[in-house]
Structure 1
Protein backbone atom coordinates (compact mmCIF):
# COMPACT_ATOMS: atom_id res chain seq x y z
CA UNK A 1 0.00 0.00 0.00
CA UNK A 2 1.25 3.45 -0.91
CA UNK A 3 1.12 6.38 1.51
CA UNK A 4 -1.53 8.13 -0.59
CA UNK A 5 -3.80 5.06 -0.47
CA UNK A 6 -3.36 4.80 3.30
CA UNK A 7 -4.36 8.44 3.65
CA UNK A 8 -7.44 7.92 1.46
CA UNK A 9 -8.46 4.99 3.70
CA UNK A 10 -7.75 7.01 6.85
CA UNK A 11 -9.86 9.90 5.56
CA UNK A 12 -12.85 7.56 5.16
CA UNK A 13 -12.89 6.99 8.93
CA UNK A 14 -11.08 9.93 10.53
CA UNK A 15 -12.65 13.36 10.14
CA UNK A 16 -11.13 15.25 13.07
CA UNK A 17 -8.17 17.31 11.81
CA UNK A 18 -6.20 16.85 15.03
CA UNK A 19 -6.56 13.08 14.98
CA UNK A 20 -5.65 12.99 11.30
CA UNK A 21 -2.47 14.97 11.99
CA UNK A 22 -1.65 12.65 14.89
CA UNK A 23 -1.92 9.64 12.59
CA UNK A 24 0.25 11.25 9.92
CA UNK A 25 2.79 12.26 12.57
CA UNK A 26 2.94 8.78 14.04
CA UNK A 27 3.45 7.40 10.53
CA UNK A 28 6.29 9.84 9.87
CA UNK A 29 8.09 8.87 13.07
CA UNK A 30 7.58 5.19 12.28
CA UNK A 31 8.97 5.63 8.76
CA UNK A 32 12.07 7.45 9.97
CA UNK A 33 12.67 4.89 12.71
CA UNK A 34 12.28 1.97 10.31
CA UNK A 35 14.80 3.55 7.97
CA UNK A 36 17.22 4.03 10.87
CA UNK A 37 16.78 0.40 12.00
CA UNK A 38 16.87 -1.19 8.54
CA UNK A 39 13.21 -2.24 8.68
CA UNK A 40 10.45 -1.91 6.07
CA UNK A 41 9.83 1.85 6.11
CA UNK A 42 6.68 1.62 3.98
CA UNK A 43 5.06 -1.01 6.21
CA UNK A 44 5.98 0.89 9.36
CA UNK A 45 4.73 4.22 7.99
CA UNK A 46 1.38 2.76 6.90
CA UNK A 47 1.00 1.09 10.30
CA UNK A 48 1.54 4.45 11.99
CA UNK A 49 -0.84 6.28 9.67
CA UNK A 50 -3.61 3.71 10.16
CA UNK A 51 -3.11 2.87 13.84
CA UNK A 52 -6.04 5.01 15.09
CA UNK A 53 -8.35 4.52 12.10
CA UNK A 54 -11.12 3.31 14.41
CA UNK A 55 -10.84 5.99 17.09
CA UNK A 56 -13.88 8.03 16.05
CA UNK A 57 -15.98 4.88 15.55
CA UNK A 58 -15.41 3.47 19.03
CA UNK A 59 -16.64 6.61 20.83
CA UNK A 60 -14.13 6.24 23.67
CA UNK A 61 -14.70 2.52 24.28
CA UNK A 62 -11.10 1.39 24.74
CA UNK A 63 -12.24 -2.23 24.84
CA UNK A 64 -12.95 -1.87 21.10
CA UNK A 65 -9.96 0.27 20.12
CA UNK A 66 -7.53 -1.58 17.89
CA UNK A 67 -9.84 -4.54 17.35
CA UNK A 68 -12.23 -2.40 15.32
CA UNK A 69 -9.24 -0.92 13.45
CA UNK A 70 -7.99 -4.40 12.61
CA UNK A 71 -11.46 -5.27 11.26
CA UNK A 72 -11.43 -2.19 9.04
CA UNK A 73 -7.96 -3.00 7.71
CA UNK A 74 -8.79 -6.66 7.13
CA UNK A 75 -11.98 -5.80 5.24
CA UNK A 76 -9.96 -3.34 3.11
CA UNK A 77 -7.55 -6.13 2.16
CA UNK A 78 -4.64 -4.71 4.16
CA UNK A 79 -1.74 -6.95 5.18
CA UNK A 80 -2.90 -9.14 8.12
CA UNK A 81 0.40 -8.45 9.87
CA UNK A 82 -0.35 -4.75 9.85
CA UNK A 83 -3.89 -5.36 11.09
CA UNK A 84 -2.46 -7.40 13.97
CA UNK A 85 -0.05 -4.63 14.99
CA UNK A 86 -2.89 -2.09 14.87
CA UNK A 87 -5.07 -4.36 16.99
CA UNK A 88 -2.36 -4.91 19.59
CA UNK A 89 -1.27 -1.27 19.86
CA UNK A 90 -4.04 -0.62 22.41
CA UNK A 91 -1.87 -0.53 25.52
CA UNK A 92 -4.95 -0.71 27.74
CA UNK A 93 -5.67 -4.23 26.48
CA UNK A 94 -2.12 -5.41 25.74
CA UNK A 95 0.12 -3.79 28.37
CA UNK A 96 3.70 -4.98 28.49
CA UNK A 97 3.28 -7.60 25.77
CA UNK A 98 5.21 -5.93 22.96
CA UNK A 99 8.14 -7.91 21.64
CA UNK A 100 8.46 -7.20 17.92
CA UNK A 101 10.31 -4.05 16.87
CA UNK A 102 7.30 -2.68 14.95
CA UNK A 103 5.00 -3.07 17.97
CA UNK A 104 7.53 -1.43 20.29
CA UNK A 105 8.13 1.35 17.79
CA UNK A 106 4.40 2.04 17.45
CA UNK A 107 4.07 2.41 21.21
CA UNK A 108 6.92 4.91 21.31
CA UNK A 109 6.00 6.80 18.14
CA UNK A 110 2.34 7.11 19.17
CA UNK A 111 3.32 9.17 22.22
CA UNK A 112 6.57 10.76 21.04
CA UNK A 113 4.95 12.31 17.98
CA UNK A 114 2.68 14.34 20.25
CA UNK A 115 5.54 15.29 22.56
CA UNK A 116 7.68 16.61 19.71
CA UNK A 117 4.75 18.50 18.16
CA UNK A 118 3.95 20.06 21.55
CA UNK A 119 7.58 21.22 21.71
CA UNK A 120 7.16 22.81 18.28
CA UNK A 121 3.96 24.57 19.32
CA UNK A 122 5.75 26.10 22.32
CA UNK A 123 8.27 27.45 19.80
CA UNK A 124 5.57 29.17 17.77
CA UNK A 125 4.97 26.22 15.45
CA UNK A 126 8.60 26.05 14.42
CA UNK A 127 9.47 22.38 14.32
CA UNK A 128 12.78 23.47 12.83
CA UNK A 129 13.65 25.01 16.23
CA UNK A 130 13.02 21.78 18.16
CA UNK A 131 16.16 19.94 19.24
CA UNK A 132 16.84 16.71 21.06
CA UNK A 133 17.73 18.83 24.09
CA UNK A 134 14.34 20.56 23.91
CA UNK A 135 12.42 17.27 23.77
CA UNK A 136 14.52 15.66 26.50
CA UNK A 137 13.96 18.64 28.81
CA UNK A 138 10.23 18.87 28.13
CA UNK A 139 9.79 15.09 28.52
CA UNK A 140 10.91 15.46 32.15
CA UNK A 141 8.08 17.92 32.83
CA UNK A 142 5.12 15.64 33.60
CA UNK A 143 2.61 18.46 33.13
CA UNK A 144 3.92 19.27 29.64
CA UNK A 145 2.05 17.32 26.95
CA UNK A 146 0.56 15.27 29.78
CA UNK A 147 -1.24 12.94 27.36
CA UNK A 148 2.06 11.73 25.94
CA UNK A 149 2.89 8.60 27.91
CA UNK A 150 6.58 8.69 28.80
CA UNK A 151 6.53 5.02 29.81
CA UNK A 152 5.39 4.04 26.32
CA UNK A 153 8.14 6.17 24.80
CA UNK A 154 10.71 4.50 27.07
CA UNK A 155 9.81 1.08 25.61
CA UNK A 156 12.07 1.98 22.67
CA UNK A 157 15.22 2.04 24.82
CA UNK A 158 16.27 -1.59 24.25
CA UNK A 159 16.28 -0.82 20.51
CA UNK A 160 17.64 2.74 20.41
CA UNK A 161 18.60 5.35 23.01
CA UNK A 162 16.03 8.01 23.84
CA UNK A 163 18.17 10.90 22.55
CA UNK A 164 18.70 9.07 19.25
CA UNK A 165 14.98 8.23 19.07
CA UNK A 166 14.06 11.87 19.64
CA UNK A 167 16.45 12.88 16.84
CA UNK A 168 14.86 10.33 14.51
CA UNK A 169 11.36 11.50 15.51
CA UNK A 170 12.23 15.14 14.80
CA UNK A 171 13.69 14.19 11.42
CA UNK A 172 10.59 12.15 10.54
CA UNK A 173 8.24 14.96 11.49
CA UNK A 174 10.30 17.52 9.58
CA UNK A 175 9.61 15.52 6.42
CA UNK A 176 5.86 16.20 6.76
CA UNK A 177 5.90 19.49 8.67
CA UNK A 178 3.70 21.21 6.09
CA UNK A 179 1.05 18.47 6.47
CA UNK A 180 1.14 19.20 10.20
CA UNK A 181 0.87 22.97 9.78
CA UNK A 182 4.35 23.50 11.22
CA UNK A 183 7.43 25.23 9.87
Structure 2
Protein backbone atom coordinates (compact mmCIF):
# COMPACT_ATOMS: atom_id res chain seq x y z
CA UNK A 1 0.00 0.00 0.00
CA UNK A 2 1.19 3.52 -0.77
CA UNK A 3 1.80 5.94 2.07
CA UNK A 4 -1.12 8.11 3.18
CA UNK A 5 -1.11 11.56 1.58
CA UNK A 6 -1.95 14.81 3.35
CA UNK A 7 -5.36 14.74 1.61
CA UNK A 8 -5.98 11.21 2.97
CA UNK A 9 -4.92 12.36 6.44
CA UNK A 10 -7.14 15.45 6.43
CA UNK A 11 -10.16 13.48 5.19
CA UNK A 12 -9.64 10.85 7.88
CA UNK A 13 -9.16 13.51 10.55
CA UNK A 14 -12.38 15.29 9.51
CA UNK A 15 -14.28 11.99 9.69
CA UNK A 16 -13.68 11.99 13.43
CA UNK A 17 -13.45 15.73 14.22
CA UNK A 18 -15.74 18.70 13.63
CA UNK A 19 -14.37 21.10 16.26
CA UNK A 20 -12.76 24.22 14.78
CA UNK A 21 -10.38 24.58 17.74
CA UNK A 22 -9.20 20.98 17.42
CA UNK A 23 -8.73 21.42 13.67
CA UNK A 24 -6.66 24.56 14.27
CA UNK A 25 -4.58 22.65 16.82
CA UNK A 26 -4.02 19.82 14.30
CA UNK A 27 -2.94 22.33 11.63
CA UNK A 28 -0.63 24.05 14.15
CA UNK A 29 1.06 20.80 15.08
CA UNK A 30 1.33 19.84 11.40
CA UNK A 31 3.01 23.17 10.59
CA UNK A 32 5.45 22.91 13.47
CA UNK A 33 6.28 19.27 12.67
CA UNK A 34 7.01 20.23 9.04
CA UNK A 35 9.24 23.05 10.29
CA UNK A 36 11.20 20.75 12.58
CA UNK A 37 11.51 18.07 9.87
CA UNK A 38 13.17 20.65 7.62
CA UNK A 39 15.41 21.79 10.48
CA UNK A 40 16.49 18.21 11.22
CA UNK A 41 16.82 17.17 7.54
CA UNK A 42 13.85 14.78 7.71
CA UNK A 43 10.78 14.23 5.53
CA UNK A 44 8.38 17.19 6.07
CA UNK A 45 5.42 15.30 4.55
CA UNK A 46 5.79 12.32 6.87
CA UNK A 47 6.29 14.51 9.94
CA UNK A 48 3.49 16.90 8.96
CA UNK A 49 0.94 14.17 8.24
CA UNK A 50 1.65 12.50 11.59
CA UNK A 51 1.29 15.87 13.30
CA UNK A 52 -2.00 16.49 11.50
CA UNK A 53 -3.65 13.28 12.76
CA UNK A 54 -2.05 13.03 16.21
CA UNK A 55 -5.33 13.89 17.99
CA UNK A 56 -7.63 12.10 15.54
CA UNK A 57 -9.53 10.36 18.36
CA UNK A 58 -9.64 13.26 20.82
CA UNK A 59 -13.06 14.69 20.00
CA UNK A 60 -15.05 11.44 19.73
CA UNK A 61 -13.12 9.26 22.17
CA UNK A 62 -11.49 11.52 24.78
CA UNK A 63 -11.45 8.71 27.35
CA UNK A 64 -9.66 6.42 24.88
CA UNK A 65 -7.20 9.02 23.56
CA UNK A 66 -4.24 7.48 21.68
CA UNK A 67 -5.66 3.97 22.09
CA UNK A 68 -8.52 4.65 19.67
CA UNK A 69 -6.11 6.51 17.36
CA UNK A 70 -4.05 3.33 17.08
CA UNK A 71 -7.19 1.42 16.11
CA UNK A 72 -8.35 4.02 13.57
CA UNK A 73 -4.97 4.46 11.85
CA UNK A 74 -4.08 0.76 11.85
CA UNK A 75 -7.54 0.00 10.47
CA UNK A 76 -6.90 2.48 7.65
CA UNK A 77 -3.67 0.63 6.80
CA UNK A 78 -1.24 3.28 8.04
CA UNK A 79 2.42 2.30 8.47
CA UNK A 80 3.08 0.92 11.96
CA UNK A 81 5.90 3.42 12.57
CA UNK A 82 3.48 6.30 11.90
CA UNK A 83 0.84 4.79 14.19
CA UNK A 84 3.44 4.32 16.94
CA UNK A 85 4.53 7.96 16.58
CA UNK A 86 0.93 9.14 17.10
CA UNK A 87 0.47 6.88 20.14
CA UNK A 88 3.79 7.95 21.70
CA UNK A 89 2.69 11.58 22.09
CA UNK A 90 0.50 10.40 24.98
CA UNK A 91 3.45 8.88 26.86
CA UNK A 92 3.12 9.12 30.61
CA UNK A 93 -0.42 10.47 30.32
CA UNK A 94 -2.49 7.84 28.52
CA UNK A 95 0.08 5.41 27.09
CA UNK A 96 3.35 3.79 28.11
CA UNK A 97 4.78 4.06 24.57
CA UNK A 98 7.87 6.22 25.07
CA UNK A 99 8.92 8.61 22.28
CA UNK A 100 12.15 7.12 20.88
CA UNK A 101 12.73 8.59 17.42
CA UNK A 102 13.45 12.25 16.69
CA UNK A 103 9.98 12.50 15.10
CA UNK A 104 8.26 11.04 18.18
CA UNK A 105 10.24 13.22 20.57
CA UNK A 106 9.45 16.34 18.56
CA UNK A 107 5.71 15.59 18.49
CA UNK A 108 5.79 14.95 22.24
CA UNK A 109 7.67 18.22 22.90
CA UNK A 110 5.58 20.55 20.75
CA UNK A 111 2.01 19.23 21.12
CA UNK A 112 1.27 21.07 24.38
CA UNK A 113 3.56 23.95 23.43
CA UNK A 114 1.52 24.88 20.35
CA UNK A 115 -1.44 25.41 22.67
CA UNK A 116 0.57 27.71 24.93
CA UNK A 117 1.91 29.66 21.94
CA UNK A 118 -1.61 30.05 20.49
CA UNK A 119 -3.05 31.17 23.84
CA UNK A 120 -0.24 33.69 24.26
CA UNK A 121 -0.81 35.07 20.75
CA UNK A 122 -4.52 35.57 21.43
CA UNK A 123 -3.89 37.90 24.40
CA UNK A 124 -1.43 40.07 22.47
CA UNK A 125 -2.59 43.31 20.79
CA UNK A 126 -1.89 41.82 17.33
CA UNK A 127 -3.56 38.45 18.16
CA UNK A 128 -0.88 36.97 15.91
CA UNK A 129 2.24 34.78 16.00
CA UNK A 130 3.80 36.84 13.22
CA UNK A 131 5.25 39.46 15.56
CA UNK A 132 5.67 37.25 18.63
CA UNK A 133 8.95 36.27 20.30
CA UNK A 134 9.77 33.49 22.74
CA UNK A 135 9.99 35.92 25.66
CA UNK A 136 6.22 36.59 25.43
CA UNK A 137 5.55 32.87 25.85
CA UNK A 138 8.16 32.57 28.61
CA UNK A 139 6.38 35.35 30.53
CA UNK A 140 3.08 33.47 30.32
CA UNK A 141 4.86 30.16 31.11
CA UNK A 142 5.42 31.28 34.70
CA UNK A 143 1.73 32.09 35.23
CA UNK A 144 0.30 28.65 36.01
CA UNK A 145 -3.27 29.95 35.81
CA UNK A 146 -2.67 31.04 32.19
CA UNK A 147 -3.51 28.21 29.76
CA UNK A 148 -3.80 26.01 32.85
CA UNK A 149 -4.54 22.95 30.71
CA UNK A 150 -1.04 23.07 29.20
CA UNK A 151 1.25 20.66 31.03
CA UNK A 152 4.55 22.51 31.15
CA UNK A 153 6.39 19.45 32.53
CA UNK A 154 5.69 17.57 29.27
CA UNK A 155 7.21 20.42 27.26
CA UNK A 156 10.25 20.39 29.57
CA UNK A 157 10.68 16.60 29.19
CA UNK A 158 10.31 16.93 25.42
CA UNK A 159 12.90 19.70 25.22
CA UNK A 160 15.27 17.55 27.27
CA UNK A 161 14.74 14.58 24.91
CA UNK A 162 15.61 16.83 21.97
CA UNK A 163 18.57 18.38 23.76
CA UNK A 164 17.10 21.86 23.32
CA UNK A 165 16.71 24.82 25.65
CA UNK A 166 13.09 25.79 26.30
CA UNK A 167 13.61 29.20 24.65
CA UNK A 168 14.93 27.57 21.48
CA UNK A 169 12.05 25.08 21.41
CA UNK A 170 9.56 27.94 21.81
CA UNK A 171 11.25 30.02 19.08
CA UNK A 172 11.23 27.13 16.60
CA UNK A 173 7.61 26.35 17.46
CA UNK A 174 6.62 29.97 16.80
CA UNK A 175 8.48 29.87 13.46
CA UNK A 176 6.61 26.68 12.51
CA UNK A 177 3.27 28.22 13.46
CA UNK A 178 4.03 31.35 11.41
CA UNK A 179 4.06 29.17 8.28
CA UNK A 180 0.41 28.23 8.91
CA UNK A 181 -0.64 31.40 10.74
CA UNK A 182 -3.49 32.30 8.38
CA UNK A 183 -4.87 28.73 8.48
CA UNK A 184 -4.95 28.72 12.29
CA UNK A 185 -6.35 32.24 12.72
CA UNK A 186 -3.15 33.75 14.08
CA UNK A 187 -1.93 35.66 11.03
CA UNK A 188 -1.71 39.43 10.75
CA UNK A 189 -4.79 39.47 8.49
CA UNK A 190 -6.81 38.19 11.48
CA UNK A 191 -5.42 41.02 13.59
CA UNK A 192 -6.47 43.57 10.94
CA UNK A 193 -10.02 42.16 10.94
CA UNK A 194 -10.22 42.56 14.71
CA UNK A 195 -9.55 46.31 14.55
- 8 A Cα contact 2:87 2:97, kept in partner: no
Q: CA deviation at 1:176?
A: 0.8
CA separation of 1:76 and 1:158: change in aligned 2, threshold 3 A: closer
1:83 matched to which residue of 2? Answer: 83
CA separation of 1:96 and 1:69: change in aligned 2, threshold 3 A: closer
CA separation of 1:104 and 1:181: change in aligned 2, threshold 3 A: same
Give TM-score scaled by structure 2 length: 0.85
Give the secondary-structure state (helix, strand or coil) at the position aligned to 1:15.
Answer: coil
Give the secondary-structure state (helix, strand or coil) at the position aligned to 2:159.
Answer: coil
Q: CA deviation at 1:89?
A: 2.1
Map residues 19-30 of structure 1 onto 2, 5 A cutoff: 19-30=22-33
Q: Tell me, which stretches of 5 or more residues in structure 1 are unaligned?
A: none
Q: CA deviation at 1:38?
A: 2.0
Cα deviation 1:120-172 (Å, max 9, x = unaligned): 10114222121111112211221111111111111223422222211111111
Give TM-score scaled by structure 1 length: 0.90
Q: Tell me, which stretches of 5 or more residues in structure 2 are unaligned?
A: 188-195
1:129 matched to which residue of 2? Answer: 131
Is 1:10–2:13 an aligned residue pair? Answer: yes
User: C-alpha distance in 1, partners of 2:148/2:7?
Assistant: 31
CA separation of 1:96 and 1:12: change in aligned 2, threshold 3 A: closer
User: C-alpha distance in 2, partners of 1:137/1:96?
Assistant: 32
Aligned length: 180
Cα deviation 1:36-55 (Å, max 9, x = unaligned): 12222221111111011011
- 8 A Cα contact 2:74 2:80, kept in partner: yes
Bigger Rg, which one = 2
Out of 152-161 and 170-179, give the one that drifted further.
152-161
- 8 A Cα contact 1:111 1:148, kept in partner: yes
Map residues 85-104 of structure 1 onto 2, 5 A cutoff: 85-91=85-91, 92-94=93-95, 97-104=98-105
Supply the RMSD in Å over aligned alpha carbons: 1.7
